[in-house]
Structure formats: C-alpha cells, structure tokens
Chain A
Amino acid sequence: IAGITQAPTSQILAAGRRMTLRCTQDMRHNAMYWYRQDLGLGLRLIHYSNTAGTTGKGEVPDGYSVSRANTDDFPLTLASAVPSQTSVYFCASGLVGGDTQYFGPGTRLTVL
C-alpha cells in the first residue's frame, strides 16, 4: 500500500539521550517534511528536503537535524533530547512545485 510509514509509533525518552525518528515513503515524492504538533500551536515545520542530498530549516529547527541520503527516507534526529521536545511528530511528503502534502501516522514522543 502506497504511503508514508513512521517509526516508532511512540517513545518515552530520558532527557539528554539521542533519538532518531524514521520516515519512509514509497510514492516517489521528491519533497519531504518534518512537523511537530503541539496543542494550540498546530503543525510547525521543523526541517524539509526538496530532493535527495539537500535539506532546509523550517520554523522550529533548533535541536533537530535531518539527512536525505535517498528519495524514500528522511530521518529526524534529536541529538540531546529536552523535555520541550515532547510532542507528536509527523513526516510528510509531496511533489516540489505541487500544492499538497501527504502525512504519515505520527510518532508520539515524550521526553522526561
């Protein structure tokens, strides 16, 4: 089934630990995105990539890094997690120059 998968579904993490959230899409979309969703704040863009090998910063990039080694995968890394990074993280993909994005099921992350 075409779409976006994310892993893990949920995670509880101790502050200071490193964590990588995984995202894979099979729609051959060239653009991929990472958002965080917090109550009352909606979806905020963390990082994006318009094509393999390139990445860019979104609205809230601090404390996060991404890489885009190929078209399908776009992992998000928290180098040293802090409690303010407790959130639900969504990966999305779309076509550069297109107008819509398609979202994965999300990863619920709690940093204690």
Chain B
Amino acid sequence: QKEVEQDPGPLSVPEGAIVSLNCTYSNSAFQYFMWYRQYSRKGPELLMYTYSSGNKEDGRFTAQVDKSSKYISLFIRDSQPSDSATYLCAMNPGGYNKLIFGAGTRLAVHP
C-alpha cells in the first residue's frame, strides 16, 4: 500500500463547478500538507500549504485536513478552464522536509 493515495482521474467538470480533490494517507506522523498544481509539460508549483488539521482558504481554493481520518481535500470554487491541470498532494513527515507525493489527479474544466 502506498503511503499516499490519490485518484488519478481524469476529472472533467463544466466551467463554474465546484471541484473536490482528495488524498488519503497512512502515516499518522505527517504534519504538513501541500497541494501542488502542475500544468502540462511544466514543473509543479505550490498552490496551498496547511499545517495539521483544519481549513485554509485562498481565493477560490480551500484546503482541508482531517488528521483523524487521514484525509485531505482541495476544493476549487467557480472552476475556470485555466484550472485545468494535474493536482498533486504532498505531505511532510517532519525532519528534513522529504515530501511524499500522491500520484496526482488530472482535472479538465471545459467551457
């Protein structure tokens, strides 16, 4: 079993929809949780960062962490075609910030 599980999709939604992306993990030592966005043929870019449990909002994006369920989510409101990308969750078990990545979910937002 992988330490971090993420549904690869693809996920296709109409413009304006609310998108929910999720990851589950098995290591209870994870404290830091990140979402990266990766456009086709580009490097991943940091989108959201959350420490421990709770919610964090940044514009149309909300990151949610439920450590009791070992489950994290990224919500995108009013999705736009420019949100079409692969979204990778990543977690830090602490120490020398070795990130553990999910496989990524490919999202397509169509006009």
A: residues with CB less than 8 A from B are 4, 31, 40-45, 48, 50, 58, 90, 94-106, 108
Contact = CB atoms under 8 A, between A and B. Distances in A.
Given A40-B8, A100-B49, A103-B45, 11 more contacts: A42-B103, A43-B44, A43-B99, A43-B101, A48-B98, A90-B43, A98-B97, A99-B97, A101-B99, A103-B44, A106-B43
Nearest to B51: A99
Contact of A42 (B43, B51, B88): B88
Interface in B30-60: 32, 34, 36, 41-46, 49, 51
A48 B98 CA distance: 9
B99 A103 contact: no
Interface of B: 6, 8, 32, 34, 36, 41-46, 49, 51, 88, 90, 92, 96-99, 101-104
B75 to A, nearest CB: 20
Contacts of B92: 99
A99 B102 contact: no
Given A42-B102, A42-B104, A96 B96 contact: yes
Contacts of B101: 42-44
A102 B46 CA distance: 7
B96 A50 contact: yes
A103 B6 CA distance: 20
Contacts of B96: 31, 48, 50, 96-97
A50 B96 CA distance: 8
Contacts of B90: 43
Contact of B43 (A48, A58, A105): A105
A40 B44 contact: no
A42 to B, nearest CB: 4
20 contacts: A40-B8, A42-B88, A42-B101, A42-B103, A42-B104, A43-B44, A45-B99, A48-B98, A96-B97, A97-B97, A99-B49, A99-B92, A99-B97, A100-B97, A101-B97, A101-B99, A102-B46, A103-B43, A104-B43, A105-B43
B51 A45 contact: no
